A and B are shown apart, each in its own frame.
Chain A
Amino acid sequence: MPEPSAPTEVHHLRGTADRPALLTIREIIEEMEPLATARLDDYLDPTVLEVTFDDGLCEADTARLDIQWTTRGEYKFHYTDSAEVNVRWGRHPHGGDYIHVPGLEHYHPPPDASSDPDDVQRSCITQTPEALVTRAVCKLWRVAYHEGSYAPLNAGENPP
């Protein structure tokens, strides 16, 4: 599987990686998503929670979600798969660079999780507790998986 695309954005998460929150997110993912296995990159001093999926979206056979969460409640959920498609949900200041994003929550769309200010979208995830953000990402991934499309990842809805 390819490594996630090198981060092109210069915007940083405020605060430091929050081990306690990453442990909680790991529990939620393993409870919610049967195709996912989550592990900290370093159990004592983690920077990221690495979630591997036994299947990917659309043509991809495998996928990975790299999760960063900080002591200030800011985050990046970066999805990458074996078809080399990348997307990322984020919550952090962007200095108004993302012209379509009024708040902190935003979405870097496929296929390359673009950080072009004109491409970055307002995120459909607006909740802040890690339980709800994580549940939302899992739910959106599930809808996309069943529809065989990347579009639901930031649609925020699943029509009947």
Chain B
Amino acid sequence: MNDRSPPDAFDDVNEAVGAEWEAETTPYERIRHVIAHTYDFVTAATVAEDARTAPKTARKHLNTLVDEGFVTTTSGEHGGAVFRRSPESLVVEQAADILDHYSSDELVTRVTELRDRLTDLQGEFGVDSPEELAVEQTNQTLSPDTSTRDEIDPETVRKWKRLRRNLAFANAALSIENAERFVDGDHNVADDSLPA
């Protein structure tokens, strides 16, 4: 878009952007986009609605994405297939993006920093995970001794979960980089024969 060009007229912004998206992408691309950040299992019909395709088309492409490892599937409550983004595929994708962005040294420094932040949270609250923190809070609420009750900021729990998830992506990037170095290194070693 040129920054001086006037926008086209439209009656409904939802329909306008939906029609543009449809014109610029294939059904496969839209289904891939919708399921890419769908982390709870949903039916093909739900994906179809968001991706502006027929349910049959969504099912076909979702099954292709399952074959490609991008999506994972299981049986839903009523026996039909349900789908969500494959966590493994998401981790690999995020790790690749991180490796594109950081040098090896930068990545080590940043991962150390994130690990320290996680350790600080564990030290501050005396538990290993946000889930344990929630249990702790429930126990305090049930305790008859009101002096031990200490409100935990929901923002802290969210921050903790976010940090843990993003550190998992960064750790995966670091592991892949280390693995690649050794695989490449072995390839370049002149005499790599096993002793007889």
Contacts and interface: CB of A to CB of B under 8 A. Distances in A.
The answer on A and B forming one complex is yes
Interface of A: 12, 16-21, 23-24, 32-35, 43-47, 55, 71, 73, 124-132, 135-136, 139-140, 142-143, 146, 156-160
Contacts of B154: 12
The range of chain B's interface size is: 35 or more
DSSP majority for the A interface? Answer: loop
Given A19-B166, A44-B114, A129-B34, A124 B13 contact: yes
Given A18-B37, A23-B97, A132-B21, A157 B162 contact: no
Interface SS majority for chain B:
helix
A132 B167 contact: no
Interface of B: 1-3, 6-14, 16-18, 20-21, 30, 33-34, 36-37, 39, 50-51, 90, 93-94, 97-98, 101-102, 110-111, 114, 154-155, 158, 161-163, 165-167, 169-170
Nearest to B94: A20
Contacts, number: 105
B90 A20 contact: yes
A44 B117 CA distance: 13
Contact of A33 (B1, B50, B90): B1
Q: Which of B12, B37, B90, B98 has the most CB of A within 10 A?
A: B37
A136 B12 CA distance: 10
